[in-house]
Structure 1
Amino acid sequence: MDVVRSVTFSPDGKSIVCGSHDESVRVWDVFSGRLLQGLNGHTDWVTSVAFSPDGKSIVSGSHDESVRVWDVSDGRQLQELNGHTNWVTSVAFSPDGKSIVSGSCDKSIRVWDASNDRQLQELDGHLELITSVAFSPNGKSIASGSYDKSVRVWDASSGRQLQEMNGHTSWVTSVAFSPDGKSIVSGSYDKSVRVWNAFSGRQLQELDGHTDWVTSVAFSPDGKSIVSGSHDESVRVWDVSDGRQLQGLNGHTSWVTSVAFSPDGKSIVSGSYHQSVRVWDASSGIQLQKFNGHTGWITSVAFSPDGKSIVSGSHNESVRVWDVSSGRQLQESNGHTCLVTSVAFSPDGKSIASGSCDKSVRVWDASSGRQLQELNGHTSCITSVAFSPDGKSIVSGSYDKSVRVWNAFSAIQLQELEGHMD
């Protein structure tokens, strides 16, 4: 196998799909380790893979300009969706699994029937490459952002462009629907965050304040607030209804790399290139905690499932767990001998998995910080780790070109999934 571009569990946790630079998509049985299918057909890097909502199909996009649909049970290629004339940048199933949307560097968005190779729509209008596409929560509309500085909304069934939202003066970096599907938020290299009425296309708000390009935007779970992070080192919270900046959360001394709301929407966590993790009160803007201790860049941060704890991984080789309400560092878990690349909570919040460039995956007790397992076998940096939905297995991908599946409790390597050439 060569570099694994992406790995993910099926919705039921019984299978794994991975895409690779070796141009293949492969499906594995988690429990037996048997290669169920080697899905070959792409002639260039596979850029993204995703299961359908029911787990029965897989869609893949590639630099070979094609979108392909595969049957999970027998590995048969159901469809080869051709039409794009440049790299496919993103693919997604509609919420009901009946349609697929793809965006490409050819400046087009295409909608496909997931059950056959029929192109339902070619959504032309953007003048530059597509950066992101998203279905609305009800699956009836598609939002897209582009280097042409516009946000566009399309009717998913007819392909008709419903709206062209102009206002940004540089590349649109990301678009997202609000939880109720009525609004769209966009971030841009022009340093602004804008909110649009998804139905009328009217710009509801221009949220100005950032002094460098916006890296990420997200709606709160209730849709009433927006959080944005920027290269200007700040995190900002905005009121969706009137566009008022509720808070300017300053404290980071380098680029803000990521922002996220807690599950209950009451807190915001942000990570930075400058080695700090910060937690903020979403309503007051008060910095609740500054988690200093890492002596290297923060590589990843995540809330626990109940939102009460945060885990962070760092270039300083440590994994740390923090109490959100008190700011107290609950645990510092040391053992890795090189930078920690990724961290993840188990579904029940009781365990943490971490991957590192020391080639190991480690499992920790979230409450005590005790190392439960050290999973050795990879021969190069770990690129990603994830728990299965039931928390019983861990999957890891590595620059050693392999995907490995482990028993989360016994540390037994269940499978080494080899086959990718890149």
Structure 2
Amino acid sequence: MLRHVITLPGHQNPVYALTTSADQDVFFTAGNDKGIVEWSLNQKAFVKVLMPVKSSVYSMVFDGQLLFSGERSGTVNVFDLATSQLLSSFQAHEKPVFDIKVVAEKNEFLTSSEDGTVAIWSLKDYSLLYRINIAKETVRTMSISNNLKELAVGTKAGIICIYDLEDYALLSQFQAHDLPVTSLQYSPDGRSLLSGGRDAQLKAWSLPEYTQTQHIPAHLYSIYSIAFHPVLPYFATGSQDKSIKIWGAENYKLYKILSIEKGTEGHTHSVNKLSWSADGRYLLSTGDDKLVMIWEMI
């Protein structure tokens, strides 16, 4: 199903952020180093340090021709890949920025933070449009439904909040995990929301009622990343337990474990972020071991 292609060194510290781009060949990573790194997927090699940063990068997303990154300092950077220019760098939050989502259809992007808020920004001039006070503590993860109707937000208290993406009105909230929610992802078919927690549990919530349909003890420690395959009915989970697991998106069957402990290639420390290439041929992974791994579907 998946085979290890190559392990790429280059970072000197743990890697927390990873994103692919519109260009099938290019992807980016960042973490405790002082820069965002560009890689070639075709060449499977380091390309360059794209831009310097002043503090650790905890979140990153590519949209259009823009690369958004969120730092531990609360700073958000907007970098134009077409012109190789930093368009904006501003203090978005008082504490670390843990997630970023872009809603191009609304000319907006969203940031979530350890300060317990989600901020909505204009894509036109990067001005603050609205700030939602979600919780007293960390808002680590967000996900936007495929029909662009709803925003799911996970909190340190283990609560998932559902907001109307049109006016950001709170639609519902429910206790999802006993410990913090560390990953969220709507399924491509629009039928469910998956959540992973520090309690190592993977749960599925059916839409539109958000009724729990699956409760799987998927990992030994926190589930930090959930990534659906762009074409095939599979999804991957990455965990603090150093493993990557491949699941059936329809039956939730466990198909593959990528872990040194299971006799495969794998990370030696926490897996922090997963991302599929746009064509679904490759799965990319990064973690606390400072490494980038490329896996190929076979």
Same fold (TM over 0.5): yes
Give 1:3-402 correspondences, 5 Å limit.
18-22=8-12, 48=17, 50-55=19-24, 57=26, 59-61=28-30, 63-67=32-36, 80-82=50-52, 84-94=53-63, 96=64, 98-136=65-103, 138=105, 140-208=107-175, 210-231=177-198, 236-238=203-205, 241=208, 244=209, 246-247=211-212, 249=214, 252=217, 257-258=222-223, 299-303=243-247, 310-313=254-257, 339-340=261-262, 354-355=264-265
Aligned equivalents of 1:212 and 1:228: distance in 2? 12
Instruction: Say whether the 8 Å CA contact 2:15–2:32 is kept in structure 1.
Output: yes
Instruction: Say whether the 8 Å CA contact 2:159–2:181 is kept in structure 1.
Output: yes
| Deviation (angstroms), 1:311 | 1.2
Residue identity matched to 1:121: S
TM-score (norm 2): 0.68
Aligned equivalents of 2:200 and 2:295: distance in 1? 38
Aligned equivalents of 1:58 and 1:404: distance in 2? 11
Aligned equivalents of 2:109 and 2:284: distance in 1? 32
**Greater RCO structure (CA 8 Å; 6+ sep):** 2
Query: Structure 1: any 5+ residue segments left out of the alignment?
Result: 1-7, 10-15, 23-43, 274-296, 316-337, 342-353, 358-379, 409-422
SS at match of 2:34: coil
| Deviation (angstroms), 1:120 | 2.3
1:310 and 1:137, CA in 2 relative to 1: closer, same or farther beyond 3 A? farther
Query: Structure 2: any 5+ residue segments left out of the alignment?
Result: none
Residue identity matched to 2:109: I
SS at match of 2:265: strand
Identity between Structure 1 and Structure 2 (%): 15
1:138 and 1:256, CA in 2 relative to 1: closer, same or farther beyond 3 A? farther
Aligned equivalents of 1:245 and 1:157: distance in 2? 34
Q: Deviations over 1:173-221 (max 9, x none)?
A: 2112111233211111112101122332222211235333223322233
Larger CA Rg, structure 1 vs 2 = 1
Aligned length: 284
| Deviation (angstroms), 1:105 | 0.8
1:162 and 1:238, CA in 2 relative to 1: closer, same or farther beyond 3 A? farther
1:113 and 1:340, CA in 2 relative to 1: closer, same or farther beyond 3 A? same
SS at match of 1:339: helix
Q: Deviations over 1:287-307 (max 9, x none)?
A: xxxxxxxxxx89443135986
Q: Deviations over 1:230-277 (max 9, x none)?
A: 445765544554xx552375574986755969889xx9999899xxxx
Aligned equivalents of 1:106 and 1:390: distance in 2? 34
1:257 and 1:86, CA in 2 relative to 1: closer, same or farther beyond 3 A? closer
SS at match of 1:217: strand
| Deviation (angstroms), 1:142 | 2.0
SS at match of 1:355: coil
Provide the aligned C-alpha RMSD in A.
5.3
SS at match of 1:211: coil
| Deviation (angstroms), 1:172 | 0.9
Q: Deviations over 1:381-404 (max 9, x none)?
A: 9x9xx999797x99999x8x8989
Instruction: Say whether the 8 Å CA contact 1:231–1:254 is kept in structure 2.
Output: no
Residue identity matched to 1:219: Y
Q: Deviations over 1:31-59 (max 9, x none)?
A: xxxxxxxxxxxxx7776565532246554
TM-score (norm 1): 0.51
| Deviation (angstroms), 1:111 | 1.1
Select the structure that is richer in strand: 2
Match of 1:364 in 2: none
Residue identity matched to 2:265: G
SS at match of 1:221: coil
